[in-house]
Every structure is written in structure tokens, then in C-alpha cells.
């Protein structure tokens, strides 16, 4: 504690979602004192489709091999290795993968990561601490959370789509052409859910977005849809009504919901897409996950990106302390690693997303894919 009553740490991580908890885990053996500031208590939910990419366990294993075993023991998940992709003409492709991903409700999955991170002796979590302000000075950083002032030498913004750090320091604004709106609800008893299969339906009125049915534990399904924000505005869409319409009025889907029951209200949230490059770092700061606009522009996946970027930010933070260099120039090593991992995929998927509002094209591609393994492989690489 400083003379002014401020709490002092080496690194301050804003937000304890997948990016923030992973970043804390990556700093576990660093000898640095880390504070994680989080506005909620845990376990806490986050509006999401709950699908975790197959590469995530491998990424966690590079931080600490014991996480692999813990993840195997983590039972609140449903393994998936097949994507059922349905065209506007209702023809379906089952795309099978060599690797297995999983679907886990975020209230469980984020809590798993939080528990692992909060067990680290160098890390202090401050829950129920809403960040209100972030300032970067010549010598350090000052973060106001609740009524407490936190001081550090480096701040890492993992505070999601409405990141205070992003807003205060980079001033990046959402761009409706690189931003998506999405809603989801949990239903019990949806019929015809195949084992280990998640479903993506390219419904005509939602293009270039899609409707999904993802299986979760206890005979539940995460059901939702996402649409580009520019399209939502142009078509004056109300996504909650759109979801209900799909579930109730499209016969091949509504048949499966005859005995289903929605168990919670429909929740919505934004997704900042990684189809444009935004400032991700600078003097004494880095941004990760949604705060850095890293969501896949086609699939809407952002959990894996949050975990990968959180890990890189943790590793970069260690280097900053080793070399006593917190400059914007040094921090670009972090940007380079993140973009090397995701940029070419996001650019390609942005291109495909732009083609996806052509119903005739999608139907044609599906017809061809049903005959050609090569085309099926290309599709499966884009969507998962
Ligand atoms: C409807 C929907 C469906 C989606 N489906 C999928 C999917 O199936 N698979 C997938 O991979 N991705 C999906 N995503 C994207 C995914 O949810 C995000 O990309 C992911 O959560 C990003 O993780 P994060 O750690 O960067 O941010 P978050 O998970 O948002 O975590 C940010 C943390 O910061 C905290 N915080 C925020 N503001 C403050 C503040 N002022 N003070 C203190 N703490 C703060 C929050 O409470 C939260 O704990 C979906 C998104 C939506 C909206």
C-alpha cells in the first residue's frame, strides 16, 4: 500500500474472463505481483454460444501442463467433433473433425479458469471492483476500481467489448461493419440433437449471419443467432424477435422445438470482429480478447482468441519486466504474435462473410460440397 492509500502491484489485469484469467495464469511463475480487477463475483455468466475451440486445451498446456489434467477432469462440458452446417435450401453437410472441441456454459467454463488463476500465490483477485478510470503516466499506470486506487507498472485490458482501458487510452470506437450483434437462450428438450454435433443454420433472412443450436449438458441446448451490426441497422432487425421467429416459424426448425421449453430469457451482447486491425498496445498497456477486437468474423468465436492473446500478453509482460522496457515499440512484439496467429484467418473469413449474403451462392456451394470432398474441407476449415 502506498502513502496515498493506493494498492500497488507490478501488473494490473482488468477483467477476469477467459483473457484475464489466462493472462494471470501465464504470469504465475513470473515472481511479479499481479492484481486482477473484476466487476462481478464468481461464478458469473456471460452471454455466449459456449463453444470452445479444439485448440484451446493445447494452448493452456503451453502455460502449465497440469491444466491439461484439470481440463480432462472438468465435467461441465459436452465434447463436439462434428459441425452440421445447413444451407438456406436446407441441405445439410456434416463436417467431422480430427480434433474435439467442447461446449460449456460460461458460468462453468469461466469459473474453471478463474479458480485456476486465483489459486496462484502471486495473484490477487479483486471481485466486485468495477473499473472506472485508467491513466497512464511516465512511470506507471493508475486504475480506479470501485473506491480503490491501484498503481502498477503495466496494465493489461481484458475487460471485454466495453473495455474501459480501450475507451480511455486508444479511443477505438465500434464500427458496424466490423461488429456483430448476437442473442442466445437456453432451451430444454430440443429434439433430434445428434451426439457430439453442433449445428449452424444459414437461414435466408439472417444472412450473412446464422442461427445455431449447440448442445449443452443436462438435455439443454444453447440456441441463438448473430448478425453483422450494419445489417441489423439496415434491416431494422430486433434480434430477440428474429430468434423467436426462427424457432417458431421455420418448419424444419420449429418441428424440433414442439416439446422444447426456453428456460431463461433471451440475452444479447456485442461481438467486436477481428476483421480490422485496431490499436492493441502502447506505452505500458496491452489489450486482449474482445477488448482488442479479436472475434472471428465468420464463426463468431472469441474465447480461443481471448485465451491465446491473454497468454501472449502475460508472456510479453514478463519480458517487459526482464528488460525494464514498457515502451510502445517494445510492446509491438505482442501485436505481432497475435496477428501472426489470427490475422490471415480473420481476413479470409471476413471475405467469406461478405459473400455470405448471397443465398444462391451458398446453395450452389452446398450442392457442390455434397459431391466434392475438397470443397467440404475448405468449408470445414473456415467454420471451425
Ligand atoms: C451471443 C454470443 C455468442 C458467442 N458465442 C461464442 C462461441 O460459441 N464461441 C466463442 O469462442 N465465442 C463466442 N462469443 C464471443 C465470446 O463470448 C467472447 O469473444 C469472449 O467472451 C471474449 O473473452 P474476454 O475475456 O475477452 O471478454 P469477456 O468474456 O467479456 O470477459 C471480460 C471480463 O471483464 C469484466 N469487466 C468488464 N467491464 C469491466 C469493468 N468496467 N470493471 C471490471 N471488470 C469488467 C467482465 O465482467 C468480464 O468478466 C459469443 C459472443 C456472444 C455475444
What DSSP assignment string belongs to 67-92? HHHHHHH--S-EEEEEEEEE-TT--E
Query: What SS3 state is found at 298?
Result: coil
91 Cα to the center of ligand 1, angstroms: 32
Ligand 1 centroid–CA 106 distance in Å is 9
Ligand 1 atom at minimal distance to the Cα of residue 19: 25
**Gap from CA of 291 to ligand 1 centroid (Å):** 9
Q: List the chain domain ranges.
A: 7-49+105-174+275-351
- Peptide bond just before 43 cis, omega within 30 deg: yes
N-terminal to C-terminal alpha carbon distance within the chain: 46
What number does the ligand 1 atom closest to the CA of 184 have? 1
- Cα–ligand 1 centroid distance for 108 (angstroms): 14
Q: How far apart are CA 302 and CA 238, in angstroms?
A: 23
Question: Whose alpha carbon is nearest atom 6 of ligand 1?
Answer: 49
If you take atom 21 of ligand 1, which residue's CA is the nearest one? 303
Report the separation in Å between the CA atom of 136 and the middle of ligand 1, taken as the mean of its atom positions: 24
Count the neighbouring beta carbons within 10 Å of the beta carbon of residue 171.
8
Distance from C-alpha of 30 to C-alpha of 198, rounded to nearest angstrom: 39
Q: Which atom of ligand 1 is nearest to the CA of 20?
A: 25
Q: How far apart are CA 302 and CA 271, in angstroms?
A: 8
In the structure grid, which three cell numbers stand for residue 366, read together? 452446398
The one-digit pLDDT tens for each residue of the chain (384 residues) are 665 688 999 999 999 999 999 999 999 999 999 999 999 999 999 999 999 999 999 999 999 999 999 999 999 999 999 999 999 999 999 999 889 999 999 999 999 999 999 999 999 999 999 999 999 999 999 999 989 999 999 999 999 999 999 999 998 999 999 999 999 999 999 999 999 999 999 999 999 999 999 999 999 999 999 999 999 999 999 999 999 999 999 999 999 999 999 999 999 999 999 999 999 999 999 999 999 999 999 999 999 999 999 999 999 999 999 999 999 999 999 999 999 999 999 999 999 999 988 899 989 988 888 888 777 777 776 655
Q: Which CATH architecture does the domain made up of 7-49+105-174+275-351 adopt?
A: 3-Layer(bba) Sandwich (3.50)
CA–centroid distance, 71 to ligand 1, in Å, is 20
- Report the Cα 278 to chain-centroid distance in Å: 17
DSSP-derived 3-state class of residue 181: strand
Show Cβ contacts of residue 375 under 8 Å, excluding neighbours closer than 6 positions.
Answer: 365, 368, 369
Which residues, in sequence order, are CB contacts of 16 under 8 Å at separation 6+? 24, 36, 38, 40, 42, 110, 114, 117, 125, 127, 158
| 369 CA from centroid of ligand 1 (Å) | 34
Pocket lined around ligand 1, Cβ cut-off 6 Å: 15-20, 37-40, 46-51, 130-131, 158-160, 162, 164, 182, 184, 224, 269, 271, 289-291, 295, 300-304, 306
Q: Which residue matches cell numbers 471476413? A: 350
Task: With beta carbons less than 8 A apart as the criterion, state whether 191 and 254 touch.
Answer: no
Choose among 315, 155, 120: nearest CA to 145: 155
Amino acid at each position: 500500500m502506498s502513502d496515498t492509500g493506493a494498492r500497488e502491484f507490478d501488473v494490473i489485469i482488468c477483467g477476469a474472463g477467459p483473457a484475464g484469467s489466462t493472462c494471470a495464469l501465464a504470469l504465475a511463475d513470473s515472481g511479479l505481483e499481479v492484481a486482477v480487477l473484476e466487476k462481478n463475483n464468481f461464478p458469473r455468466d456471460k452471454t455466449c454460444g459456449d463453444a470452445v475451440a479444439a485448440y484451446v486445451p493445447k494452448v493452456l498446456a503451453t502455460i502449465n501442463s497440469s491444466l491439461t489434467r484439470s481440463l480432462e477432469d472438468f465435467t461441465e462440458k459436452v465434447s463436439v467433433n462434428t459441425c452440421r452446417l445447413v444451407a438456406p435450401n436446407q441441405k445439410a453437410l456434416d463436417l467431422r473433425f480430427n480434433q474435439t472441441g467442447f461446449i460449456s456454459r460460461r458460468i462453468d467454463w469461466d469459473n474453471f479458469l478463474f479458480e485456476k488463476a486465483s489459486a496462484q500465490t502471486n495473484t490477487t483477485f479483486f471481485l466486485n471492483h468495477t473499473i472506472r478510470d485508467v491513466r497512464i503516466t511516465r512511470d506507471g499506470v493508475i486504475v480506479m476500481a470501485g473506491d480503490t486506487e491501484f498503481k502498477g507498472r503495466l496494465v493489461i485490458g481484458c475487460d471485454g467489448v466495453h473495455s474501459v482501458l480501450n475507451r480511455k487510452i486508444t479511443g477505438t470506437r465500434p464500427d458496424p461493419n466490423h461488429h456483430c450483434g448476437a442473442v442466445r437462450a437456453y432451451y430444454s428438450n430440443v429434439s433430434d440433437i445428434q451426439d457430439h454435433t453442433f449445428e449452424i443454420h444459414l437461414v435466408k433472412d439472417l444472412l450473412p449471419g446464422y442461427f445455431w443450436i449447440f448442445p449443452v449438458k443436462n438435455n439443454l441446448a444453447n440456441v441463438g443467432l448473430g448478425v453483422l451490426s450494419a445489417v441489423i441497422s439496415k434491416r431494422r432487425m430486433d434480434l430477440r424477435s428474429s430468434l423467436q421467429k426462427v424457432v417458431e416459424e421455420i418448419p424444419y426448425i420449429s418441428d424440433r422445438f414442439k416439446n422444447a421449453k426456453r428456460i431463461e430469457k433471451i440475452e444479447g451482447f456485442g461481438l467486436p470482429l477481428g476483421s480490422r486491425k485496431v490499436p492493441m498496445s502502447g506505452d505500458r498497456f496491452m489489450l486482449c480478447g474482445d477488448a482488442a477486437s479479436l472475434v472471428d468474423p465468420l464463426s463468431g468465436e472469441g474465447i480461443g482468441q481471448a485465451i491465446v492473446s491473454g497468454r501472449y500478453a502475460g508472456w510479453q509482460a514478463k519480458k517487459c519486466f526482464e528488460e525494464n522496457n514498457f515502451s510502445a515499440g517494445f510492446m509491438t512484439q505482442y501485436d505481432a504474435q497475435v496477428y501472426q496467429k489470427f490475422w490471415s484467418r480473420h481476413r479470409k473469413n471476413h471475405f467469406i462473410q461478405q459473400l455470405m449474403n448471397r443465398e444462391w451462392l451458398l446453395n450452389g456451394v452446398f450442392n457442390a460440397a455434397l459431391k466434392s470432398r475438397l470443397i467440404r474441407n475448405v468449408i470445414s476449415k473456415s467454420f471451425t
